[in-house]
Structure 1
């Protein structure tokens, strides 16, 4: 049994088939057939009891007419899904002269209460009460007091109507919960897609930060080999080694990021290399020094491992971008990296380089990394400022939270 079949078995047809409440239905479900047959048999049983009581005090002709009218009313219940209001009105009028149709009237009132709004239910219920009261005078029961007959009829109509309205409210609640679940599922999928998009944007910024540093090292040493072909073999070998190592690291970083960007099921394994933190800042400084840069690190953080990983990674990327910019725009200058902070006060990162001695060619795409780092710092709960320094150089200042 499929999911759709189970829904059609468990739910009423007006909640499964198109058209809504009161609309024509192309077919009855198994559940509809069971409910309709049960109501038909119940109405026929009540009609038989009423017919047996009526036969004791009326002629055979009247009894025969009552039985025919009662049978017609019970058979008409098969139309209650298509015309619930019209059938209830007709059975209420029939019940005035044929007490045998009382069972069919109660079944039709139940259908109206389940499928129609309260205003129509109240009007049909009032008509049924009026018809039951009129019957008590037109076709009185000799064994029952007239007032008791009127009260009994009113009570039965009220109970059946209330039961139908309760069923209607429950069905509406179930449908509302199902709609809410569908809407929540759709919103969850939308939030997941948005989170994935934001994650990919963060990975793209990470790619820029990482590859810009590696490729700058490649460019510097390749340029040195190009303009110094007469350099000593030791320097050539050292530059070639830096180029090889930087290219290898760039490929590793690129493979790791592309692995993360792969959609689920596309295959491939994500990189398992550890992410940089503040504890790896010394390695970054040393790498820049080996590439020929003059870098001075001044830090008061005694235990870099105690800094939260996300904050330390942001500090690392800021320092990496600052060193990359200094290498591109102020080659040969001394770069000072200062890291201060403690728990509860936050971390401050200052990177400064003086103005270069000669003209420096413009590098395409300059400034994009600083924009990305500003966004990264803001996402981490901090801030970053950058711009020309008073001595003509360039300064970068960032503050990041460090919880106590």
Structure 2
């Protein structure tokens, strides 16, 4: 299992061997700036050490060599932050030019390690400070003032590093939360689509059962009454052909959405609404207090296929429900137009809510289900706000 981004960024040693991430361009820039700053302070300290009259030349050379090697060691501070900081404590005790590299290592520990590592390394550094200033007293600076300066410098470096660490942790936590929120939203949307598909499959199950039963009855009549009149045989054959065609059409719609795991709800045999049930739906909503303008311009409502009418009914029902929840008191316009061959168009529009009552909160999953229904029926559905602040749902279903 790969470690999280926070662990990879702030605790490099937690990444197993072979999976260590490479330095980014930002890492190289930061390391280069840190190295150059340490080298600059090293040169300043080395010059002052050379000009010191009481320091032997051999000690100056040894101090400079140790300081130079310490500056080069800054490049491995990300890989071994604690080890480098511990190694720099005795080196900084005998080399004044290595003190700046020691502070850089301490800063790296504060950025990349928990507080317990920082406390131990900073405490050890401060514990050797009195011995260092006793062996190498600063010219023109009292002993106590030197210790206070070392304490303040160490506290500033550690505090700065811990501030950087806390800021990175916060940013990565927010990024991780945003990623989890996006993942959860996607999972909720997928679940809503799955539930909508299952609901469509249940409805189609009832329709297929009805059509196949009708087909079986007429086929059985032809089998047991081969001497029936020619007109009756022709009528039964026409019913069989039409029922078979409709059953195949319904089967094509559900072939990719059957996802139920043996639920018993599909066996209810309840009647399914069609386009003819739209006007009773509008009347029921009006009785509940909604203001609805119905503009029904379908050329031949009786010729609309049952599957198309059922989908149109569900779209209108969900749109009216959304309008009642989110725009209470507003007048809703329901418009249906279409002819055989051109398709069936459904438009539901509502202005901004007129009532001061707060709208009922919704999750938006109903619109996902409507889009799924329209797509499975071979049509399309769009929704969005209008220029005046209202809301509109536009759907088109094939009819031909």
**Matching residue within 148, 152, 157 for 1:155:** 152
Q: Which residue of 2 aligns with 1:212?
A: 209
Q: Which residue of 2 aligns with 1:354?
A: none
The reply to whether residue 50 of structure 1 matches residue 45 of structure 2 is: yes
Q: CA deviation at 1:307?
A: 4.6
The verdict on how the C-alpha distance between 1:15 and 1:255 changes in structure 2, with shifts beyond 3 A counting, is same
The verdict on how the C-alpha distance between 1:90 and 1:58 changes in structure 2, with shifts beyond 3 A counting, is farther
Q: CA deviation at 1:253?
A: 2.4
Q: CA deviation at 1:75?
A: 2.1
**Matching residue within 14, 17, 37 for 1:20:** 14
**Matching residue within 269, 273, 280 for 1:303:** 280
**How far apart in 2 are the matches of 1:72 and 1:34?**
21
The reply to whether residue 134 of structure 1 matches residue 128 of structure 2 is: no
Structure number with greater Rg is: 1
Q: CA deviation at 1:157?
A: 0.9
Deviations 1:53-83 (A, max 9, x none): 3323433513333322322221222332333
Gaps of 5+ in 2: 260-270, 286-305, 311-323, 325-400
Q: CA deviation at 1:107?
A: 0.5
Mapped contact 2:11–2:113 kept (Cα < 8 A)? no
Q: CA deviation at 1:160?
A: 1.0
Q: Which residue of 1 aligns with 2:263?
A: none
Mapped contact 1:77–1:104 kept (Cα < 8 A)? yes
Q: CA deviation at 1:106?
A: 0.9
Higher relative CO (CA 8 A, sep ≥ 6), structure 1 or 2?
A: 2
The verdict on how the C-alpha distance between 1:136 and 1:251 changes in structure 2, with shifts beyond 3 A counting, is same
Q: CA deviation at 1:109?
A: 0.5
The verdict on how the C-alpha distance between 1:150 and 1:118 changes in structure 2, with shifts beyond 3 A counting, is same
The verdict on how the C-alpha distance between 1:120 and 1:23 changes in structure 2, with shifts beyond 3 A counting, is farther
> What SS does the corresponding residue of 1:122 show, helix, strand or coil?
helix
Mapped contact 2:106–2:121 kept (Cα < 8 A)? yes
Deviations 1:124-157 (A, max 9, x none): 1111122233322221112223222222211111
Count of residue pairs the alignment pairs up: 271
Q: How does 1:79-98 map to 2 (within 5 A)?
A: 79-98=76-95
**How far apart in 2 are the matches of 1:262 and 1:204?**
6
Q: What is the TM-score when the length of structure 2 is the normalising length? A: 0.57
RMSD between aligned residues? 3.9
Mapped contact 1:14–1:20 kept (Cα < 8 A)? yes
Q: CA deviation at 1:158?
A: 0.9
The reply to whether residue 70 of structure 1 matches residue 64 of structure 2 is: no
The reply to whether residue 277 of structure 1 matches residue 254 of structure 2 is: no
Q: CA deviation at 1:190?
A: 4.3
Deviations 1:180-224 (A, max 9, x none): 455445545544544444333323322220111112222222223
Q: Which residue of 1 aligns with 2:366?
A: none
Gaps of 5+ in 1: 1-10, 264-274, 282-300, 309-315, 321-342, 344-404
Deviations 1:280-328 (A, max 9, x none): 36xxxxxxxxxxxxxxxxxxx98344457xxxxxxx99xx9xxxxxxxx
Q: CA deviation at 1:176?
A: 3.6
Q: What is the TM-score when the length of structure 1 is the normalising length? A: 0.56
